[in-house]
Chains A and B, each alone.
Chain A
Amino acid sequence: MEIETQETYDIMAVCLLAGKIMLQSGAETYRVEDTMMRIAASFGAYQSHPYVTPTGILFSVEGSEPTKTKLIRIVERTTDLEKVAQVNGISRKISAGEFTIEEAYKELKRISETGSPYSLWIHVLAAAISSGCFLIMFQGTWGDFIPAFITGGLGFLSLLYFHQLVPIKFFSEFSASLLIGLQALFFVSTGIGDELDKIIIGSVMPLVPGLLITNAVRDLMAGHLISGLAKGADAFLTAFAIGAGIAVIFSLT
């Protein structure tokens, strides 16, 4: 199939938007590349080469005309699995021929502009509940459930708040874990909580970079060495920030 120059650029725009949403929402590198290639192929651009790293996407499409290449930069990365699933669904529909280029672009634009499916308070509540549950899973007593619940919830809330205040991940994670430690210390010293260790471990769990670790491993195994190492470094930094925040508490006790 012959494709026109303008059409090639349109295809690239759709692919890049899809790739950008997925990468920013925390998809694995190979999934981003695969999705971009599939979309391009189903619109008739059979020769495409995406190069995806956590901080940018290079995409080039070959055709009868000279090869076209575009680069987009990814600055902000969050975790939004709903968007990953939605873009995945759109890519399936495009492969099935249900969308034209224009429709696909509009649909992707709509996804990129929608916010999180859960409100802030549901996030905080989820963090609080999971903290309490992790406490029980790590052999804590039910008496410590409420302290862990409060500490975990407030810790997660402070993570979001600090991140808004200063967009440096290390700082917000460090401050959040410091705050968690202080709260746990407060609960234990007032006699409401019993085991300091268990409360801290449970409450820190919502900050743990679980998605980054799994993604880093999957990327490394799929041969995306640069992305894998970068995500691993990111996960290590987060773990270090949490550890450093808690370490301050130890030096207090």
Chain B
Amino acid sequence: MTIIEQLITSFIASAAFVMIFNGPKRTLFHCGLVGMIGWILYFLLEANGVDMVLATVIASFSIAIASQYFAKKYKTPVIIYSVAGIIPLVPGGISYNAMRNFVQNDYNLAINLAAKAFMISGSIAIGLVFSEVINQIIRKSKLKTIVNKTK
């Protein structure tokens, strides 16, 4: 039940977010799909006791792969899809709690949480970069096979 709830809300939230950013109408469905894939992966991994940072890396990696697939297929800039996917992973809750503790003068806990938020942002970036690297490798190997065939 929770999983169905999460699937539906993450789909709608990601698609609505792309609407805020004026995304093209024909991409909305795929954007929602990318957001859903990323979020449900993160959610399930986290619920099963995987570390938050690792869960974020895996989720953002799969988001980037899905975005690149859709971008290639529909010939649209990849950023439209990856933004939709990344938004739910942004550590809003942790940054919020960090801010709250800063204001309430509990600096130890605040710095703790802020560092965690920073780590998670970093892991989103790492996931994106990894998939970019893999994308480049695939493109190069495809080029090679094409070159070999024409020889």
Binding site for B on A (CB under 8 A): 26-28, 31, 79-86, 88-89, 92, 116-118, 122-123, 126-127, 129-130, 133-134, 136-138, 156, 197, 200-201, 204-206, 208, 210-211, 213-215, 217-218, 221, 239, 243, 246-247, 250-251
Q: Name the B residues within 8 Å of A200 (CB-CB).
A: 96
Which residues on the B side are within 8 Å of A208 (C-beta)? 87, 90, 92
B57 adjacent to chain A (CB < 8 Å): no
**In the complex, which range does the number of interface residues on chain B fall in?**
35 or more
Bound CA span A133–B99, Å: 23
Whether the pair A210, B96 counts as a contact (CB closer than 8 A) is: no
Residue from the set B22, B75, B77, B124 with the largest chain A CB neighbour count within 10 Å? B22
CB < 8 Å neighbour of A137 from B13, B21, B24, B79: B13
- For B124, list chain A residues within 8 Å (CB): 213, 217
**Assembly CA distance A213 to B76 (angstroms):** 20
Give CA–CA (A140, B95) in the complex, Å: 17
Within 8 A of A (CB), among B56-96: 75-77, 79-80, 82-83, 86-88, 90, 92-93, 95-96
Q: 27 pairs across A/B with beta carbons < 8 Å?
A: A82-B22, A84-B80, A86-B24, A88-B75, A116-B22, A118-B19, A123-B19, A129-B12, A129-B13, A129-B16, A130-B12, A133-B10, A134-B88, A136-B9, A137-B13, A137-B88, A156-B20, A201-B92, A214-B82, A214-B83, A217-B124, A217-B129, A239-B95, A243-B95, A243-B96, A246-B99, A247-B99
